[in-house]
Amino acid sequence: MIPSTTEMFRALVSTPSVSCPDHQIDQSNIDVINLLANWLDDLGFDVVVKPLESNRQKANLLARKGSGDGGLVFAGHSDTVPCFESQWAVDPFALTEKDDRLYGLGTCDMKGFFPLALAACAAIDDKQLEKPLCVAATSDEETSMAGARELAAMEFPKADAAVIGEPTDLIPAYTHKGIALLRVIITGIAGHSSDPDAGVNAIDAMHQVIERLMAFRGELKSRYANDAFAVQYPTMNLGCLHAGDVPNRICAHAELQFDIRLLPTMNADVLIEEIQRQVVDISERTGAKIQVESTCPSIPPFETSTTGKLVQHLSNMTRHAPQGVAFGTEAPFYQALGMETVVFGPGSVNQAHQPDEYISLDRLKPTQTILENLIHTYCAKP
Ligand SMILES: [Zn+2]
């Protein structure tokens, strides 16, 4: 049998698995995957630990009990964001129980989903299982989503439904925006600043590009709207700008990084093409080379029908209408495998990515009960 829920929380929190684009900070998630693999093995699941093609220090876990089509997947990520230990009142890598809360990095986002999912899996009698019950744990959700992308490419897991246990305060989330991280690189020609015609100034061209982007931002706002979100339109944030070196040289290089939060139905590649088309005349007029590209693969927007079986079932059990959430998740990758996918977890996003991250103890039992109910609905004999 498996350890108590609290002991599983303790083991997961005290096993660091920080994901970070900075290689100095980035850690392997394999020790966390191995903890889950051992517990799932003890529960009688067939467990596969699959190192990522793109990074052998990282792995996904796929566990399955039962055979045939259909069934249910409990899915989540095994990594966490980095933390600044000096800002924490408790040790982020040790479980601290106080004030009716469990504190520690990942308790809320979202290692803490796994002990509850596993406890729910342990509660069902194997003889009752008619359809497969699966648990998936990915790596690198907090950075590139490489784990979920590789799962989707493997076309596994497949089931009728998938629950992504990200922090939604136990309210079913049926939609979120996508995220495209983009940049414009402008290449001019350096020259002596005393003669403007001696070169091509990338900052001058960037000024025009920024004007064009801001106009495009207004256009996107009038073109799209979705009242599932607090900010109902697609946003564009101009986030960082680097150009030039000294005042008396014509600037030959400028780079602007920005993000666009995509509403469902929007596509990052289509937007990049559109922006590229919109700056052609600036390039022709100034003589600067203007390149628009992604800085990393985008997170697609996610939306599932509010009348689906899983979303309705969760809505009835929690007495909460399905809602949109403001953060991106792995949901679109699971949905792409043909499953009805809903984001639903016990933590609150207010504690995610924050010092002194915690989960309230009063969330644990209701979550486990709901997950058990889902197993009965999707996997058990009537
Ligand atoms: Zn998360």
Q: How far is the CA of 319 from the centre of ligand 1 (A)?
A: 24
Q: What is the pTM of this model?
A: 0.92
Q: Please give the CATH topology (third level) of the domain spanning 178-294.
A: Alpha-Beta Plaits (3.30.70)
φ, ψ of residue 252 in degrees (nearest 5): -100, -5
Q: Are 349 and 326 in contact (CB under 8 A)?
A: yes
Q: How far is the CA of 376 from the centre of ligand 1 (A)?
A: 26
pLDDT at 147: 97
Q: How far is the CA of 195 from the centre of ligand 1 (A)?
A: 53
Q: How far is the CA of 132 from the centre of ligand 1 (A)?
A: 25
pLDDT at 1: 87
pLDDT at 132: 97
d(CA 135, CA 157): 9
Q: Which of 26, 109, 140, 141 is catalytic?
A: 141
Q: Where are the domains of the chain?
A: 5-176+301-379, 178-294
d(CA 29, CA 184): 33
Q: Are 147 and 60 in contact (CB under 8 A)?
A: yes
Q: Which of 79, 109, 140, 357 is catalytic?
A: 79
d(CA 258, CA 6): 41
- Per CATH, the number for 5-176+301-379 is 3.40.630.10
Q: By three-state DSSP, how is residue 163 classified? A: strand
Q: How far is the CA of 290 from the centre of ligand 1 (A)?
A: 35
pLDDT at 156: 83
pLDDT at 48: 97
- The strand pair at 323-325 and 289-294 is best described as unpaired
Q: How far is the CA of 125 from the centre of ligand 1 (A)?
A: 30
Q: How far is the CA of 167 from the centre of ligand 1 (A)?
A: 7
Rounding to the nearest 10 degrees, give the CA dihedral for residues 70, 108, 80, 158. 0
Residue 141 known to be catalytic: yes
Q: How far is the CA of 77 from the centre of ligand 1 (A)?
A: 7
Spell out, as residue ranges, where the chain has pLDDT lower than 70: none
d(CA 180, CA 369): 37
Q: How far is the CA of 345 from the centre of ligand 1 (A)?
A: 10
Q: How far is the CA of 81 from the centre of ligand 1 (A)?
A: 9
Residue 219 known to be catalytic: no
Q: How far is the CA of 99 from the centre of ligand 1 (A)?
A: 24
- Residue 242: which H helix or E strand, with range? strand 235-243
